[in-house]
Amino acid sequence: MKIIDLTHLFGKDTPSYPGDPRTRLSQIKSLERDGYNLNLIYTSMHTGTHIDMPSHMIADDRLAERFEPELFIGSGVLLDVRNQNPIGMRKDYEKRIKKGDIVLLYTGFDKWYKNPDIYFERHPTVDETLADFLIASEIKMLGLDMPAPDHPPFSVHKKLLTAGIFILENLTGLERLNGVGEFEVIALPLKIEAEASLVRAVARTMLK
């Protein structure tokens, strides 16, 4: 069994979505001066690797703490969609994707993570036909190695969240899942009263 980390490092230089507050991570107590170390974090829930709940963009009073942990664990399906924009439907997806799966879109766009002008403004989008298929397939979650499945006015976001499909954003390293066969995705949110949550997303494979 092997655990593959799919999470970006959260640190002082973590980029924020345009218009969101800039993330701050600072040490406010030190072992030498105070006898213990203590760090303070200031961030939106949509910074770094995180998961969107339905209430992020639709009228739904359920916050992250209301959802059971098993909803964020499931069989993974990796779709290699590099160099596709928009990311559309393919016939073979009908055989590969089943109810309860967690679908990951491998775009390779995580390479631009530290270049916000490109990463946030020029990322590919998910075509509505693919979104409709994922909804009809009743998947649990859609994961992306980019900041969002769409651009304003966020029609795909709203469509997926209305259907109860969580959106896992800002993944990295999906190329390590290419060709591994079966794997499980684990992306547990904090038990927090918020419309989204930072996560430590990993894939668990049978590889050694």
What's the rounded mean pLDDT across residues 73-100?
A: 98
Residue 2 has pLDDT above 90, yes or no: yes
What's the rounded mean pLDDT across residues 55-74?
A: 97
Q: pLDDT band at residue 12, thresholds of 50, 70 and 90? A: confident
Query: DSSP secondary structure string, 60-117?
Result: ----GGGS-GGGGEEEEEEEE-TT-SSB---TTHHHH--TT-EEEEE-SGGGGTT-HH
The neighbouring-strand residues paired with 39 are 27
What's the rounded mean pLDDT across residues 52-79?
A: 97
At residue 147, the pLDDT reads 98
Listed by start position, the domains of the chain span: 2-8+44-205
Residue 40 has pLDDT above 80, yes or no: yes
Residue 207 has pLDDT above 80, yes or no: no
Fold (CATH) for 2-8+44-205: Glucose Oxidase; domain 1 (3.50.30)
What's the rounded mean pLDDT across residues 79-98?
A: 97
Q: pLDDT band at residue 206, thresholds of 50, 70 and 90? A: confident
At residue 208, the pLDDT reads 67
CA 95 – CA 80 distance, rounded (Å): 15
Q: pLDDT band at residue 106, thresholds of 50, 70 and 90? A: very high
Q: For the segment 25-38, what is each residue's pLDDT rounded down to a tens digit?
A: 999 999 999 999 99
Residue 103 to residues 26, 67, 77, 106, 181, Cα–Cα distance (Å): 35, 19, 5, 10, 14
